[in-house]
Amino acid sequence: MSADTILYIIVAILVVNYLWEQLLDLLNLNHQKDHPPKELADVCDQATYRKTLAYHRAQTKFGFVSSAISFVALLVLLLTGAFGELDSWLHQYIDNEILLALSFFGILFLVADILSIPLQWYNTFVLEEKFGFNKTTVPTFWLDKLKGYLLAAVLAGPLVWLLLFLIDRLGPAFWIYFVLAIGLFSLFLNVFYTSLILPLFNKLTPLPDGELKRAIEVYASKVSFPLSNILVIDGSKRSSKSNAFFSGIGKKKKIVLYDTLIENHSIEELVSILAHEVGHYRKKHVIQNFVLSLIQSAVMMFLLSRMITQESLSLALGAQQTSIHLNLLAFGMLYAPVSKLLGVFLNILSRKNEFQADAFAAKTADKSALASALKNLSVDNLSNLWPHHWFVFFHYSHPPLVQRLRALDLEN
């Protein structure tokens, strides 16, 4: 295939994807009604409902602006051959292929992120602030940026280096070894996430003794699930939104509760949320997700191995000569539709898993407490209560609230 053809394919993917996402957003925006779903009548009055509508509208508008900016920017970079220019410019100063590639990706990442700071700033200090969610201070904002850059360098740097090293040494056979490396790397991240990475950004403390801890222990012994590691995270440092999640595997498994969650929910509700998380573990969703993401990486790396030496990929981005990093970038853009398709499949599965975890919680804990926890969470976070079914199908990893409530109703 000629370089021009590849460039046209990349541009076509970009345009179709952009238009498609805008269409989904528009459908979602126009799918709102003038009243909350009847299932929420007890927790969502008209004033709160109007607030969720306003929040959803503000978020969608912000999304329109930011995706238009990145769409146009990427289109200009592609059509002017700017990626190739950057590569030639770096070639003057750096000889080493791997160092060149790391600088190339490093510069792209930094420039893209720095240019998007005004948007991130607006989102945090204007949009989220207006709806009372933002708790981030200006120093925290900048410190987060700095730590984020360092973390990206420490985590992504060695991985990119390894990829280039393996391609250089093994040619197209690199993909099997790199998938193994990704597997080990994500296992490492999974096990050490709460002990090494999260503490860089948040304070984690063991759940203190008290009524909540006792209630959790009663539940844990009832389902014979060891719950010695329950951590409270100071999510309130950045936002008043709340959440809970599971992390790690085997003996390292931990449940993390946001301080904002504990503040806004009753003990029964918290135990039912915890039961939902235990359900994910019991139904083997944690292992399933790990295996699926490994399969996803394998598909990607296999396809990459077929294309990594194609000269025309680099030329399509405006380069004078082929280089591995330009080929990687072009491949990333060509791979977008495959990744999207796999993402839809993973979302379908994830929504199914959420129903299973809810059912587990309904059976082992208090069903009505889970229902009220879900309703309160949704209203407190001003979630969209009338998502369009297409938007749900393509983007939602969790079923819409009303569907979850109806499924809970059917549980015994």
Nearer to Zn ion, 91 or 283 (CB): 283
Among left, alpha and beta (phi > 0; psi -120 to 50; other), residue 185 is alpha
- Angstrom distance (rounded) from CA 221 to CA 3: 63
Site string for Zn ion, 169-208 (x = CB under 5 A): ----------------------------------------
Assign 239 to helix, strand or coil: strand
- What are the angstrom distances between the C-alpha of 35 and each of 41, 49, 348, 384? 9, 7, 28, 12
**Residue 317's closest CA among 105, 78, 71?**
78
Based on the residue annotation, tell me whether 269 is a catalytic residue of this protein: no
Least distance in angstroms from the C-beta of 285 to Zn ion: 8
Annotation says 358 is catalytic:
yes
Smallest distance, Zn ion to C-beta of residue 388, A: 22
Q: From the candidates 25, 358, 366, 380, which is the catalytic residue?
A: 358
Is 378 in contact with 402 (CB distance < 8 Å)?
no
Q: Closer CB to Zn ion, residue 242 or residue 323?
A: 242
Of the pair 328, 374, the CB lying nearest Zn ion is at: 374
In the complex, the smallest distance separating the C-beta of residue 379 from Zn ion, rounded to whole angstroms, is 18
Cβ contacts of residue 23 below 8 Å, gap of 6+? none
Tell me the window of 84-92, 198-206, 223-231, 346-354 that interacts with Zn ion (CB under 5 A).
346-354
Decide whether 40 or 357 has the Cβ nearer to Zn ion. Answer: 357
In whole angstroms, how close is the CB of 101 to Zn ion at the nearest point? 38
Q: How far is the CB of 353 from Zn ion (least distance, A)?
A: 7
Question: If you ran DSSP here, which 8-state letter would residue 137 be given?
Answer: -
> Closest CB to Zn ion among 357 and 408?
357
Cα separation, 357 vs 370, whole angstroms? 11
**Which residue has 């926890």 as its token pair?**
373
35-42 own/partner pairs: CB under 8 Å, 24+ apart: 36/385, 37/385, 37/386, 37/401, 37/402, 39/375, 39/401, 39/402, 39/405, 39/406, 40/375, 40/378, 40/379, 40/385, 40/401, 40/402, 42/375
DSSP-H helix ranges across 223-323: 259-264, 267-282, 285-307, 311-316
Nearest distance from C-beta of residue 286 to Zn ion, angstroms: 11
DSSP output for 31-75: T--SS--GGGTTT--HHHHHHHHHHHHHHHHHHHHHHHHHHHHHH
Q: Which of 87, 277, 354, 366 is catalytic?
A: 277
CB nearer to Zn ion: give 354 or 380: 354
What is the b/e burial string over 20-48, where b = at least 16 CB atoms within 10 angstroms of the residue's CB? ebeebbeebbeebeeebbebbeeebeeee
**What minimum distance in Å lies between the beta carbon of 395 and Zn ion?**
16
Which of these segments, 162-170, 238-246, 347-355, 372-380, binds Zn ion (CB under 5 A)?
Answer: 347-355
Q: Which of residues 349-388 bind Zn ion (CB under 5 A)?
A: 354, 357
Which residues share a beta bridge with 205?
232
Q: Which is nearer to Zn ion, 81 or 248 (CB)?
A: 248
Residues in contact with Zn ion, counted by CB under 5 A, come to a total of: 2
CB of 201 to Zn ion, least distance (A): 22
Residues 6+ apart with CB under 8 A from 326: 83, 84, 87, 104, 313, 314, 317, 319
Cβ proximity to Zn ion, 143 vs 291, nearer residue: 291
Residue type, 105: F
E-strand stretches of 159-297: 204-206, 230-233, 244-247, 254-258
Q: Which residue has the tokens 């039961």?
A: 275
Task: Say whether 203 sits in a helix, a strand or coil.
Answer: coil
Catalytic residues: 277, 358
Chain positions contacting Zn ion, by CB under 5 A: 354, 357
